[in-house]
Amino acid sequence: MDNRPVGFFDSGLGGLTCIPYLMRSLPEEKIIYYGDTARTPYGSKAESTIRSFSLEIADFLVKSNVKMIVIACNTVSATCLDDIQEKFPSVPVIGIIEPTAAEVAETCSSGSRVGIIGTKVTVASHAYRNLIRSRNEGIEIFERACPAFVPLIEEGIIDNEIMDLTIRYYMDDFVHDSSLDKIILGCTHYPLIEENIRRIYPELDIINPSSIVAGRIGQVLRDRDMLAEGSDFENVFFASDLSENFINMIDHIFEKEKVKVKFLNFDFEKERMRRNEAHEL
């Protein structure tokens, strides 16, 4: 038994889409979430920048005494999962891509035509394609970067025509020319536009990694005898910029879960400045 919280992080609010699945499957677990809303999006940044932001956040979570780290971000999982695992050997660290790839490889038949949509960095890494095909060579993989989705979602532009047009702009030829049967939402922000995608392409089978990772979290905690029991820890949501959008999205996502949450601001830049000023005094 281990009543410490599970740590999650993402470049912004996308990783929040994983949390309701964990709360439903393991209701005793408590969480600390960090959304790097001040520096989002990560998906078009240099790998070295993504790595340095991610190591900083992982360090923050470890210092906050989490029992495991869930990289609720495909972009970070595709670029620096190994670096985080190496730097923090005292806690289990899992990414979101490998559990999804394992499930797709196991459940999709040979000849399936699977599309992956994600950020530029995730798509350029071919992390999904390589992991799926190393387990099931018969699956046909197609990849498409959709870089404008994340800024629109972070702005709350979801349920309207602008988002639908943007989806069509990136996906119409991709879905039709590749004759896809399934699509993986390869960015944790995308489940927030899952309904739009379903409405525009009703024939597509949608695979949501945010729902799959909860199963892997449970498996890791069970294997290590680290499941929580009666923890009184309050779920905490940190953001580097505690914006109205971030708070509204949490309210929206957790409306159905009816959980108590606490919001806190933690900005690494401001913290560095504060420390430097204290040092100068």
Short-list 146, 142, 145, CA closest to 113: 142
Which among 174-182, 185-193, 233-241, 262-270 is the span making contact with ligand DGL, rule CB under 6 A? 185-193
Using CB under 6 A as the binding rule, whether residue 29 contacts ligand DGL is answered as no
Among 187, 197, 207, 242, binds ligand DGL (CB under 6 A): 187
CB of 233 to ligand DGL, least distance (A): 25
Task: Give the interface size with ligand DGL as a residue count (CB under 6 A).
Answer: 17
Contact between residue 243 and residue 7 where contact means Cβ atoms under 8 Å apart = no
| Residue pointed to by tokens 């960095």 | 121
Using CB under 6 A as the binding rule, whether residue 143 contacts ligand DGL is answered as no
* Cα–Cα distance measured from residue 262 to residue 238, given in angstroms and rounded to the nearest whole number: 8
Q: b or e along 160-194 (b: 16 or more beta carbons within 10 Å of the residue's beta carbon)? A: eeebbebbeebbeebbeebebbbbbbbbbbbbbbe
Which among 40-48, 53-61, 198-206, 247-255 is the span making contact with ligand DGL, rule CB under 6 A? 40-48
Among 18, 150, 217, 221, binds ligand DGL (CB under 6 A): 150
Catalytic residue of the set 73, 80, 108, 146:
73
Active site residue 187: yes
Short-list 189, 238, 182, CA closest to 43: 189
CB closer to ligand DGL out of 100 and 122: 122
Spatial CB neighbours of 254, under 8 Å, sequence gap ≥ 6: 19, 20, 261
Active site residue 108: no
* Cα–Cα distance measured from residue 1 to residue 229, given in angstroms and rounded to the nearest whole number: 7
Using CB under 6 A as the binding rule, whether residue 125 contacts ligand DGL is answered as no
CB closer to ligand DGL out of 30 and 45: 45
Tokens of 86: 């190496």
Q: Which of residues 59-98 bind ligand DGL (CB under 6 A)?
A: 73-75
Contact between residue 90 and residue 158 where contact means Cβ atoms under 8 Å apart = no
Which among 34-42, 87-95, 157-165, 254-262 is the span making contact with ligand DGL, rule CB under 6 A? 34-42
The contact mask relative to ligand DGL for 220-259 (x = CB under 6 A, - = no) is ----------------------------------------
| 3-state secondary structure at position 218 | helix
Using CB under 6 A as the binding rule, whether residue 33 contacts ligand DGL is answered as no
* Cα–Cα distance measured from residue 43 to residue 108, given in angstroms and rounded to the nearest whole number: 27
Question: Catalytic amino acids?
Answer: 73, 187
Name the residues that contact ligand DGL, by CB under 6 A. Answer: 10-12, 14, 40-43, 73-75, 119, 122, 150, 187-189
